[in-house]
Structure 1
Amino acid sequence: MNPDKFVQELAKRNFNLNENQVNQFKQYFNILVAANKHVNLTRIMELDEVYLKHFFDSLTPLFAFYDIFEAGCTLCDVGAGAGFPSIPLKIMQPSLKLTIVDSLGKRLTFLQDLVNNLNLKDVKLVHGRAEDIGQNKLYREQFDLVTARAVANMAVLSEYCLPLTKQKGYFVALKGPKAESELAKSQKAISVLGGKVLKTEELRLPDSNEERTLVLIQKIKSTPKKYPRQAGTPHRKPIQ
């Protein structure tokens, strides 16, 4: 998917990029490739693949669940790595108030440089483990939307993300193909943490065999205070 095809595919979905947005994605690609020589951010480096598997892929929640992306809403991206999915979402929806949580300082240094170069406003970068941030009063149950992409299985991911999600807010997990069995095994964790699965959306990226699953979870009750547990525990002992 080259940049022109990217613009065309978004237009098909009624998202028409302005010149500034087109240039922001171009800058994003150039900054990502340059930084990746020094910091391991992604194994995907070819222009067509970055536009398809990073940029377009990051925007799929906007296509599938557009109504939850209200103007000015707060979004927390957990384990964003090189900024996916949150930076492409921010480019598309500039009014989003974005917080990115990541445990690696080098990635946050890259993201700060990216945010500055793309002239993005209302972006806060938080250095820390999701388990610790989820127990911090500044962030706990403070976000309308929480996203995570390729971070962990659903049971673990729910313990990272649902404590950050406001009651009546939403957690969106961007998963790979055929996530039904993983989702089935995480039902207890989702329920214990205060969530309810509203919808799953299976899709294929344009002109490819790349299959994805989006999971939309609403926070219907407050997360018990004991969650998230100490850093590392959700991964070692998922809620079952």
Structure 2
Amino acid sequence: MPSDSLPIFNQIWRETLHWEPTKSQLEQWEKLYQEIILVNRKINLTRITKPKDFWEKHLWDSLAGIDAKIIDIKSCSKVIDIGTGAGFPGIPVATIYPHLQVTLLDSKIKKIKCIDFILDKLKFNNCQTLIARSETIGQMKEYRETYDLVLIRAVGTPSVCTEYALPLLKIGGIAVLYRGYWHDEDKLTLKSALEKLGGKIISIKNIETPLTQSIRNFIYIKKISTTSLKFPRQIGIPTQNPL
């Protein structure tokens, strides 16, 4: 049996993000949702499955991080979503911006295989998947300093996220850290890490989610110089010994 349909909430899109999805995009998201619910019965892709929760925590949240006043999205071409999980925020971003080539990175083989099945079935032609750790690909020529935009959500502490993200960014590229909690001490430790990684914070945005009124924080980091080849460090070290 199919699940309940996703809400549309066009007025909320307009009021919060000053934009609304097209009929075609809404249809894509509905198909995506139904496929994820089906796959979720066999493998735990996401714990967020109720229609309103899925809309707010996966769709709205993914796109709230893409702020056109901060990111020149039209000039971006290559994007990587680190620790994509069930495909968020990468898939909604790829839906709205079809000119982007979005790489969905995760180290969990089962999850990526499920995402591959869904992408193929729904004809998401501007998404590709990659099974790897960011510490590994960050040291590989074909990935290092090749992305215009890095998205990273719910992966680790801010300094750990930046050690994963900055080596993959081109100079001038932007990393977006999707955060729940954000404190003054986070900013201090992040600035210290960025001095070593070649980046700087250009904006911090906090926004209230439209349905549950919880606070979401988005930290925008610009890469201003080449990252030392010391980074990223070997697998596990960034989390065990954060910068």
TM-score interval (norm. to shorter): over 0.9
CA distance in 1, matches of 2:123, 2:40: 21
User: 2:79 — aligned with what?
Assistant: 75
- CA drift of 1:126 comes to 1.1
User: 2:237 — aligned with what?
Assistant: 233
Q: State the SS of the aligned residue for 2:84.
A: coil
User: 1:195 — aligned with what?
Assistant: 199
- CA drift of 1:193 comes to 0.6
User: 2:7 — aligned with what?
Assistant: 3
Q: How many residues align?
A: 238
> Does the C-alpha gap of structure 1 residues 45 and 90 become closer, same or farther in structure 2, counting only changes over 3 Å?
same
Aligned Cα root-mean-square deviation (Å): 1.7
Deviates more, 1:178-187 or 1:34-43: 178-187
Conserved 8 A contact 1:100-1:126 = yes
Q: State the SS of the aligned residue for 1:217.
A: strand
Conserved 8 A contact 2:150-2:175 = yes
CA distance in 2, matches of 1:191, 1:161: 14
- CA drift of 1:159 comes to 0.6
- CA drift of 1:41 comes to 1.6
CA distance in 2, matches of 1:100, 1:147: 10
Structure 1 counterpart of 2:13, one-letter code: L
- CA drift of 1:179 comes to 4.0
Q: State the SS of the aligned residue for 2:36.
A: helix
Structure 1 counterpart of 2:157, one-letter code: N
CA distance in 1, matches of 2:98, 2:107: 25
> Does the C-alpha gap of structure 1 residues 59 and 52 become closer, same or farther in structure 2, counting only changes over 3 Å?
same
CA distance in 2, matches of 1:180, 1:96: 34
CA distance in 1, matches of 2:29, 2:62: 12
User: 1:176 — aligned with what?
Assistant: 180
CA distance in 2, matches of 1:200, 1:29: 30
Q: State the SS of the aligned residue for 2:42.
A: coil
Q: Identity over the aligned pairs, expressed in percent? A: 32
User: 2:132 — aligned with what?
Assistant: 128
CA distance in 2, matches of 1:106, 1:121: 21
Structure 1 counterpart of 2:12, one-letter code: E
Structure 1 residue ranges without an equivalent (≥5): none
1:61 corresponds to 2:65: yes
CA distance in 2, matches of 1:83, 1:16: 21
Conserved 8 A contact 2:76-2:149 = no
Conserved 8 A contact 1:177-1:202 = no
Given candidates 138, 141, 157, the residue that maps to 2:142 is 138
CA distance in 1, matches of 2:102, 2:40: 23
Structure 2 residue ranges without an equivalent (≥5): none
Q: How does 1:1-240 map to 2 (within 5 A)?
A: 3-5=7-9, 7-12=10-15, 13-63=17-67, 65=69, 67-70=71-74, 73-239=77-243
Where do 4+ consecutive residues of structure 1 move more than 4 Å?
none
User: Normalising to structure 1: TM-score of the pair?
Assistant: 0.93
Conserved 8 A contact 1:200-1:216 = yes
* Cα distance per residue 1:42-79 (max 9 Å; x no partner): 11111110001111001112246464212552101100
> Does the C-alpha gap of structure 1 residues 64 and 209 become closer, same or farther in structure 2, counting only changes over 3 Å?
farther
> Does the C-alpha gap of structure 1 residues 180 and 90 become closer, same or farther in structure 2, counting only changes over 3 Å?
farther
